[in-house]
Amino acid sequence: MKVLLIFPPQWTPFRPYLSLPSLTAYLQEHGVNVVQKDFNLEAYDLLLCKDYLTKIGGQLKSQFAALESKESLAPGIEQKLYSDLFMAKSLVPELIEKVESAKATYRDPVNFYDPDKLAAATHIITESLTSIALAHYPTSMGLSSFDMPSFTGSFASLKRATENRLENPYIELYEQHLLSFIDNEKPGLIGITISGESQLIPALTLSRMLKSQGVKAHISIGGYVVSMLAEILPKYPDLFNEFFDSAIINDGEKPLLDLVRHLEQGKSLDGVPNFIFMDAERIKANPKETPENINCLPPPTFEGLPLNEYFSPDPVLPVLSSRGCYWARCAFCTHSLAYGMTYQIRDAGKFVDDLEILSKRYGVTHIALSDEGTSPASVGRISDEILRRGLKVRLSTSIRPEKQFTPELCRKMAEAGLREVYIGVESACDRVLGLINKGTSCAIDEEVLRNIHEAGIWDHVYIMFGFPGETMEEACQTFDFIEKNTGIIRSLGISNFSVGRNSRVMKHPSEYGVTLPDAGDDLDFKLYIPYQTSEGLSDVEGWQLTEDCYAKVAVKLEGDVLLEKIGHHYDKGCILPQYLSHYESTDPFLSTVVKVKPPATPPRRTINSKSRLALKPGVTMETLQFNLRQIRKNITDGAKSVVYREPTITLCEPGQARFKRVADNAAEILKLCDGQNTLAQISQKLARRFSVPPFVIERDAIAFMQPLYDEGYVTFQS
């Protein structure tokens, strides 16, 4: 039996996700014919191309024209949509021109390491995704996100979202580029991974389309999201009738292999562990079994994946040295549940064997440990083994701030090639850490951060605001902690608390002063649940503190400005480790790279009658039926005012997201500014047309054009 494993959109395109390579290696070791397909990566190239963006540009123009034809625009959503559509449809020509070079920058071994070029490429790609989403309004999408507001969390809204062609861009994409591939492969089993909430709708859209077309293969879903929904899935028989045949919970190796064998032999599926399926009109959830011994698993295989097509000049390959979390007690966290609350450590010798195999087989030096948290003892053993063998690799991993991360251990980690660690500090208030059940203290956190920094390892620190019961004063302690330690914290990941499905806070809300909505089934398919607190910071205050910390504190860190610029938050395991390795011998902490170059300020030129001017490239002039300036003011002020038709001439530079209203007489001058005619010649032409003395028009033209030049809307032509 052939097995086809699919990784669907929407996920980051920077490196392979580990689930498919791990499952493929395990199945192949047991003689199963497996094809792994990263359609998430393929989707980026299909969406981010000239042809598709040209089509999107036409859709945006049609949507904007529909609003332009109205007599008035309602406050709020309609006015914002008008503004967004205008900017997007104006920007699309630039996106069409630059999108291929933007993708090429990510894959270029020289341009990738120029932060200015990488930032420009990131801007083009993110704006392209924004425009694509706007053409499917109200959908939104980015390099790590996909959201359809019409999907509210209920099963009914999930069904609507997976068949809504206007809002769901993946229906057409699957029809044109994936379904025929699946048909040609003729698999007996199709496995679809759903690792993040951003993949839920795209993945179930695909599985539903396959079922509706009568694909003969057994369709099974798995991954983190499926494990989080394990108690929800059996409530909905229609899921198993319309979307898929089965679901695998927790680690997938043993259940998937057993499923293959049972299907091949035509046996009942009752014996497949960690498995939910429909049998004779009844949904059954088979008993769970312990996962396969981590030391019996082969290293992941990336054969069949186009490693040179990821958005990266050199592949960064993921691998696990452990499964699960050795602490597994934090009240907000749900990651351990995906492993069935088990914890396994791979033998250090076997793990370093994995590193050697991956390094030699794929020619890579960048390895990202995808562990939930690598323990001090484990990372010490791994470092010893790497040093004993003299293996040249560069690693990154996640850790808990444990006092066992001594100066000696941190120096050994650095010597073994560990260049970056991600540390969950969460809070700098010991009382809040106690509420979280973090098992650490502010003093330990600071000590570990100092040891890591002094060893020459980049520390990316995660903090969180708004855990139930946290006060504003306690949140300010975290602000103070960061400012105090700007010399030893390289960069930050900042978030606000949310109630994750199956977290301890969700299961025992009263213990944390949390009230959850009595929503019935309406939120069954949401991974994060809205909540209210009886004391401490509210959800809204947590969001505001997150924004304030980025705006006021993170900017003081040496590394954060650069990392925000190159988009580190899209994939912490790819871009930053490569920068650290690339500049390792010349600038190990990126101290010179992070310095933002001030924009060059050209000398101011004075416009006169001999000046030849033209609109700056990228600037357009257009007559709009509504006053965009008033609309933007309404949006900013939250005004509830209706706007009525008021034709206005508008200059727009969509690449800089700015515009300017111009008077009718100024527009007449601009129409003739072609870079060939001087202002004196333009004035003569307009004087004849309007029967006005030339010197009057020339005087006004200079007065009009000087501020437009100063603001960068027009430019001199030699």
pLDDT digits (tens, 9 = 90+) for 17-49: 999 999 999 999 999 999 999 999 999 999 999
pLDDT in tens, 262-304: 999 999 999 999 999 998 879 999 999 999 999 999 999 999 9
- Residue 274 CA to residue 285 CA, distance in Å, equals 7
Look at residue 598 in the predicted model and tell me its pLDDT: 64
Look at residue 559 in the predicted model and tell me its pLDDT: 79
Q: Confidence class of residue 567 from pLDDT cuts 50, 70 and 90?
A: low
In the block, tokens 């032409």 appear at 685
Element (H, E) at 78: helix 77-107
CA 639 to chain centre: 32
Residue percentage of the chain with pLDDT more than 70:
98
- Residue 62 CA to residue 59 CA, distance in Å, equals 5
pLDDT over 90 (residue 705):
yes
Q: What are the phi and psi torsion angles at 484 (to 5°)?
A: -65, -30
pLDDT over 80 (residue 558):
no
What's the whole-number mean pLDDT along residues 651-663?
Answer: 90
Rg (Cα) of the chain, in Å, rounded?
28
Q: Confidence class of residue 595 from pLDDT cuts 50, 70 and 90?
A: low
Element (H, E) at 100: helix 77-107
What's the whole-number mean pLDDT along residues 248-260?
Answer: 97
CA 230 to chain centre: 25
Look at residue 563 in the predicted model and tell me its pLDDT: 75
The domains found in the chain, sorted by start residue, are 2-285 (no CATH), 314-580 (3.80.30.20), 612-716 (1.10.10.1150)
Q: Confidence class of residue 144 from pLDDT cuts 50, 70 and 90?
A: confident
Of residues 718 and 685, more confidently modeled: 685
For residue 498 the two structure tokens come to 């949310």
Look at residue 57 in the predicted model and tell me its pLDDT: 97
Q: Confidence class of residue 594 from pLDDT cuts 50, 70 and 90?
A: low
> What secondary structure does DSSP assign to 403-440, as a single string?
TT--HHHHHHHHHTTEEEEEEEEE-S-HHHHHHHT---
Of residues 585 and 131, more confidently modeled: 131
Look at residue 288 in the predicted model and tell me its pLDDT: 92
Residue percentage of the chain with pLDDT more than 90:
87
- Residue 604 CA to residue 519 CA, distance in Å, equals 61
- Residue 386 CA to residue 369 CA, distance in Å, equals 14
pLDDT in tens, 505-516: 999 999 999 999
Q: Confidence class of residue 211 from pLDDT cuts 50, 70 and 90?
A: very high
- Residue 452 CA to residue 487 CA, distance in Å, equals 12
Look at residue 352 in the predicted model and tell me its pLDDT: 98
Element (H, E) at 446: helix 442-454
pLDDT over 60 (residue 572):
no
pLDDT in tens, 63-81: 999 999 999 999 999 999 9
Strand partners, 145: 142
Look at residue 597 in the predicted model and tell me its pLDDT: 62
- Residue 214 CA to residue 224 CA, distance in Å, equals 27
Tell me how far CA of residue 556 lies from CA of 487, 567, 641, in angstroms: 10, 17, 40
Largest CA distance in the chain: 95
- Which of 627, 634, 673 is closest to 650 using CA atoms? 627
The dihedral region occupied by 256, where left means phi > 0, alpha psi between -120 and 50, and beta the remainder, is: alpha
- Residue 323 CA to residue 331 CA, distance in Å, equals 19
- Which of 464, 455, 452 is closest to 489 using CA atoms? 452
Chain mean pLDDT for the chain: 93
What burial class does residue 228 get, using C-beta atoms within 10 Å of its C-beta: 0-12 exposed, 13-18 middle, 19+ buried? buried
Q: Is the CA virtual torsion 367, 368, 372, 375 positive or negative?
A: positive
Look at residue 310 in the predicted model and tell me its pLDDT: 95
Look at residue 603 in the predicted model and tell me its pLDDT: 81
Asked if the bond preceding 10 is cis, omega within 30° of 0, the reply is yes
Look at residue 596 in the predicted model and tell me its pLDDT: 57
pLDDT in tens, 447-505: 999 999 999 999 999 999 999 999 999 999 999 999 999 999 998 989 999 999 999 99
Look at residue 573 in the predicted model and tell me its pLDDT: 53
- Which of 134, 91, 170, 129 is closest to 12 using CA atoms? 129
Q: Which residues contact 607 (CB under 8 A, 6 or more apart)?
A: 613, 679, 702, 705, 706, 709
- Which of 15, 280, 277 is closest to 143 using CA atoms? 15
DSSP code of residue 331: T
